[in-house]
Amino acid sequence: MPSKRFLLKKLMHQPSARTRILKERLTEPLHLNAAALVVAAFGSFRAKVAWDLMMRPHYAYGLLEAADQAREAGLDSFTAIEFGVAAGEGLLNLCKLADEVRAETGIKVRIAGFDAGQGMPPPVDWRDHPETFSAGDFPMDVDGLKARLPSNCRLIIGPVSETVPEFLANELNASAPIGFVAFDLDYYSSTKQALAIFDDVDAAKYLFLPVLYFDDIVLPNYSSWAGELLAIDEFNQEHAMRKIQQYRFLRSRRIFKNARWIDQIFLLHLFDHPRLTVPHQRRHMQNVYLNQLNPS
């Protein structure tokens, strides 16, 4: 089981991840942790996602949600994107999870990873958090990573200010609309450029409610006046018919409530999506009291 080996390696070698995961899990009820062990041993992929038993549970959650939406829309595939690839651990993890999502749902996932390929560009100004990141951070072995990628994954190298418009113009189409996007470009300036991925005039190139994950919103020095959160605010100001908002009440839908990633999941609301114009069957409401009084 490579993913179990990988999880153990991560827990051994990344003290901050280990402390966080232990804190999150050990503060959950004992009976849920006991039940999770049973799910880990015998559960389906879907059950393991529900019980946060995957590496990068946020990627697993986003992919599975998008696959369910794609199936409901009568599609057989969707596109998932990682912005910011670096050494490629996240992208390879996304590819592996996409295989499992396909086995579970029958929906194929087209994957694109975007990166400059030479480490971080220089920060533009204070809004890029130069106290945390600087030019050249996160160098990558582009050829080595490309050699490891499966055929459904493309690594797109270059500044996102150039590669995103090219991707929209030449690659994205409505047969595999965007369903899940992970943003991990660290900077305000880069995230603002990457959010142009939601600018295509044809709303059918997106699922009805794409799931978004924002990595760089968790440190105490992050705020709405810099970094990813500022890029989101500006996107919302600049787009009348498309808005990004944190997934309100996701916590109430999850079994384990303390997982940090829950607060990092956002949704793209497309008020110009063709789904809004599809007529649907008239809806009815039950009234159990009336049914009790007048049993038919």
CB of 160 to ligand SAM, least distance (A): 4
Q: Residues near 222 by Cβ (< 8 Å), separated by ≥ 6?
A: 129, 216, 228, 229
User: Looking at 19-27, 30-38, 81-89, 245-253, which segment touches ligand SAM (CB under 6 A)?
Assistant: 81-89
CB of 192 to ligand SAM, least distance (A): 10
185 contacts ligand SAM (rule: CB under 6 A) = yes
The single-letter code of the amino acid at 278 is V
CA 168 centroid distance within chain = 19
- Comparing CB distances to ligand SAM, the nearer of 53 and 120 is 120
190 contacts ligand SAM (rule: CB under 6 A) = yes
What is the chain's Cα-based Rg? Answer: 20
- Comparing CB distances to ligand SAM, the nearer of 43 and 158 is 158
138 contacts ligand SAM (rule: CB under 6 A) = yes
Please report the DSSP string for 260-278 in residue order: GGGGGEEEEEETT-GGGGS
**Alpha carbon of 23 to those of 38, 143, 197: distances in Å?**
21, 38, 35
89 contacts ligand SAM (rule: CB under 6 A) = yes
Residue 217: φ, ψ to 5°: -130, 10
- Comparing CB distances to ligand SAM, the nearer of 86 and 265 is 86
Among 116, 155, 212, 270, binds ligand SAM (CB under 6 A): 116
Q: Is the dihedral of CA 181, 182, 185, 191 positive or negative?
A: positive
Residues contributing to the site for ligand SAM (CB under 6 A): 82, 84-87, 89-90, 114-116, 119-121, 138, 140, 159-160, 184-187, 190, 193
